[in-house]
Amino acid sequence: MEVQTAGDNLYYIVLIGTSGGLLLALSLILFYVRYQRRFIGQQAAMQQAALEHKQTLLNAVIQSQEEERLRISRELHDHVGSSLAAVRLWLAKAPTEGNTAVADARAGIDRVLEDVRHISHRLSPAGLELWGFHEALEAYCAATAKATGLAITITDDTNHALDKLSFDHALSLLRVVQELVNNTVKHAGASAITIALAQEENSFSLHYTDNGKGLGDATHKAGIGMYNIESRLSTLDARYLVESPQGGGYALRINIPATAIETT
């Protein structure tokens, strides 16, 4: 009887000890899981805060750049342009008969005035705030085509929806187009550019193509130009994809989320 009682007591002691050990192990596991979740949550929050801080700094840099561009644009228009126009009027009073130097000076000043206007409008698109993205895009492309001889075609299947972009977003998208056109003019050896705007299910797209020499076998690398494009597109939460058309040339597709369009 005493032996059986001692055996039962030992059984209960082992059972209680085992149960306690299991509970302790389970508690440790739950504590570890909760700790890991909290740690991962804190890491995610820190990464998100770092990304938001980076985007805030980037937006501040872009804003500063645009303010400086606006200042330079006004200086060119108000001071340099006005001074050249005054000289042009003064030369208009000078006799030109038998004096080719005066005529040449007038023609030279006219060319410089045109260049100043073009640079001023490129630095700060005057029509963007007044008429919206589409009008500013058409004006820029028309001026560029005239200056470079490129054939630039714009197609729009969005019913001018991108005119609802905020001024800052529209300016960022226009700067991207300017960067792409600048790359084409400098490096592609192209004769034609096409810019196609389209509306998709939950986004809008801008498809840029030229008939230049394209990327060839070179790997697409993010140089200063592409860094500028990525920086601008990040302000719209937009994505881009570089393509290699079968017939040659260069193509880049931009997808702009519908949330970037103002609904008010």
Domains of the chain and any CATH numbers: 132-264 (3.30.565.10)
With a cut of 50, list the residues of the chain below it in pLDDT. Answer: 217-220, 264
Q: Is the pTM of this model over 0.75?
A: no
Q: What is the pLDDT of residue 49?
A: 67
Identify the pLDDT of residue 254.
93
Q: Which helix (H) or strand (E) covers residue 251, if one does? A: strand 250-257
Write down the pLDDT at residue 264. Answer: 43
Element (H, E) at 69: helix 2-75
The whole-number pLDDT of residue 247 equals: 75
**Environment class of residue 22 by beta-carbon count within 10 Å: exposed (0-12), middle (13-18) or buried (19+)?**
exposed
Tell me if 155 sits within 8 A of 170, measured CB to CB: no
Residue-level pLDDT at 224: 59
Task: Please write the tens of the pLDDT for every residue from 147-187.
Answer: 889 999 999 998 888 888 888 888 889 889 988 998 898 88
Angle subtended at Cα 112 by Cα 111 and Cα 116, rounded to the nearest 5 degrees: 120
Token pair listed for 4:
């059986």
